[in-house]
Structure 1
Amino acid sequence: MTGTKAKVTADWVKPACHAGRIARIEAYFSGHGYEPHRHDAYAIGRTLAGVQSFNYRGSKRHSLQGMTMVLHPDELHDGEAGTEDGFQYRMFYIDPALIQTILGGKPLPFIAGGISSDPRLHIATEPLLKAMDISLEKLEEDDALYDLAQALAVVGGQRVRRRVTDYQAVERAREYIYAEFNKNITLDALSAVSGKDRWSLSRDFRVLFGTSPYRYVTMRRLEYCRQLMLAGFSLAEAAIESGFADQSHMTRQFIKTWGVSPGRWQNIIRKGPA
């Protein structure tokens, strides 16, 4: 072959390497994928390439690249390629009980048609649709669950009720993060420190400090990491000391936050003004 990319013909399914409470897969199918079946969980995913076609609630649906699929629990569906190029996608399966721990007894959100291009759902599902070799911290997973439940509710047409926030409780959680950011902080630990239930705390933290608990932890780690780098620590040492799993984990967060790699940032700081 000269100058052309070989067409993928072998079907494959790759589960996430690190199992959490949420099952995640990435898959490719060149033609027929699944016979009609149903789950007792939400099946939520994104088409990465090709056209993903499936029968759902009496109609043929076609998910294009970048679209978000939200298949309601216990709804019959199948799956196949919409074109001869096949389709690739990522999907996670989430127990409705997890969503209800956040929504607290509201009707389970329903996304009409099973496919959405709403940017709020795209953003909310992003953390749970990472590559299968990337693990999720427990606090990161809880943050993603909260955002997902809220996005499903809003996009599904539910009204958001205003609630009174508890500043003192959230401030206790914030102070704990400052003291322990390089440890393995969980939402359970923050709940215990604050005296507030997990999901009320998660909601109030966002309202009062403009970001999620996990993001707040990550920023404290990154700030400390930069201090260590300036003090002469290697990138790997700074990453571990700051509480990241490893250097690659820190690098992904560094670039996501500041738009440059930690190595490049370190070189720029060392050079100083010309």
Structure 2
Amino acid sequence: MQRNSFLGVNLNVDLAPGGRGGLERSCQARPADGIRVADPSHGVERIEARFHGNAFSPHRHDTYGLGLTLHGVQTFHYRGVERFSNAGNVIVLHPDELHDGAAGTEDGLIYRMIYLPPALISAVNGDQTGLPFVPDPVLADEEIRQALRDILYDLDEQPSDLIMDDVVMRLAAGLFRQAGALGKRLTPSARSAVLRARDLLEDRCADLVSSKALEAETGLDRYELARQFRRLMGTSPHRYLVMRRLERAKRSLAEGQGLAAAAADAGFADQAHFTRHFRKTFGITPGHWLTIRIPNTGEC
């Protein structure tokens, strides 16, 4: 398989830096549905996906989902409205916003996404402001598009620190510009408390973490912590903990561990509990995810 191709479809002409269009003409075959996940790097996830019909049931992430529609029509419900993205458009999904996903035509859908932790976006402004909210999830923003091309063009290559820093800065600038205003400022003490809570949740993601433990760690009462945590991290402490468990379970599954063992290792009560959270978060069951996942062999 050629480098930077996916299941028989050449993506170079549309994703090359400065490239515009051309992907529709390059599609000759109807490849199978699937998701290819790049190797983890810098705390972000990058994927390439191809689907026909309804792909994902309603779900939500605790990250910013930024992507490019490359082929077909990308349809999804977001904030109570059905949205449509044509090839070349930019997709912006805010953390913790419910959405689904489907191909809008029989030709199917190809897109690439990067999932950025909110802390990376807020860090561009020194963690002094809350997160930017972009009201329109479908954009024709050339500056964001070019930044996404730079980071999504080659999923086989691990981006360097300098490349990632530059792309995150450009994406954050674009999000704040599209949002039209800076978020409310966070005090240094509130920021420090949230980061301590985040670190505790990550270190103990497979354990039962109580509100009292977070209060003792941060010095904030549980309600103030919930407010400040959402402003900086884009979601609640509970959902952040569940997401870290799901990430741990996904790594175990990718390494060949069974569903029940992966669920137990990540701190879920049982396989059914794990499956419910997985479907609620990713829009598909863990078994389906394993079926459509394309192993990243480095040969693409």
TM-score bucket of the superposed structures, by smaller chain: 0.5 to 0.7
In the TM superposition, 1:133-148 aligns within 5 A as 133-148=156-171
Corresponding residue for residue 49 of structure 1: 71
Is 1:15 paired with 2:37?
A: yes
Supply the distance in 1 between the matched residues of 2:115 and 2:40 (Cα, whole angstroms). Answer: 15
| Structure 1 spans left out of the alignment, 5+ residues | 160-274
Percent of aligned positions that are identical: 42
Q: What root-mean-square deviation, in Å, do the aligned CA atoms of Structure 1 and Structure 2 show?
A: 2.1
Supply the distance in 2 between the matched residues of 1:18 and 1:74 (Cα, whole angstroms). Answer: 21
Q: Kindly report structure 1 stretches of 4+ aligned residues shifted beyond 3 Å.
A: 4-7, 17-20
Instruction: Give yes or no for contact 1:61–1:113 (8 Å, CA) kept in 2.
Output: no
1:125-170 deviation per Cα after TM superposition (whole angstroms, max 9, x unaligned)? 22222221122111111111111111111122126xxxxxxxxxxx
Q: 1:125 aligns with which of 148, 159, 166?
A: 148
Structure whose CA Rg is larger: 1
| Shift of residue 49, structure 1, vs aligned partner | 0.4
In the TM superposition, 1:215-226 aligns within 5 A as none
Amino acid of the structure 1 residue aligned with 2:52: S
Q: Which has the higher contact order (CA 8 A, sep 6+)?
A: 2
| Structure 2 spans left out of the alignment, 5+ residues | 1-25, 183-300
Is 1:92 paired with 2:114?
A: yes
Corresponding residue for residue 150 of structure 1: 173
> Cα–Cα, structure 1 residues 32 and 151, in superposed 2: closer, same or farther, change >3 Å?
same
| Shift of residue 5, structure 1, vs aligned partner | 6.9
Instruction: Give yes or no for contact 2:63–2:115 (8 Å, CA) kept in 1.
Output: yes
Amino acid of the structure 2 residue aligned with 1:41: T
| SS in structure 2 of the partner of residue 28 of structure 1 | strand
- Number of residue equivalences: 157
Supply the distance in 2 between the matched residues of 1:51 and 1:9 (Cα, whole angstroms). Answer: 16
Instruction: Give yes or no for contact 1:56–1:113 (8 Å, CA) kept in 2.
Output: no
Instruction: Give yes or no for contact 1:29–1:88 (8 Å, CA) kept in 2.
Output: yes
Supply the distance in 1 between the matched residues of 2:31 and 2:150 (Cα, whole angstroms). Answer: 29
Corresponding residue for residue 96 of structure 2: 74
Corresponding residue for residue 223 of structure 1: none
Instruction: Give yes or no for contact 2:63–2:95 (8 Å, CA) kept in 1.
Output: yes
TM-score (norm 2): 0.49
TM-score (norm 1): 0.54
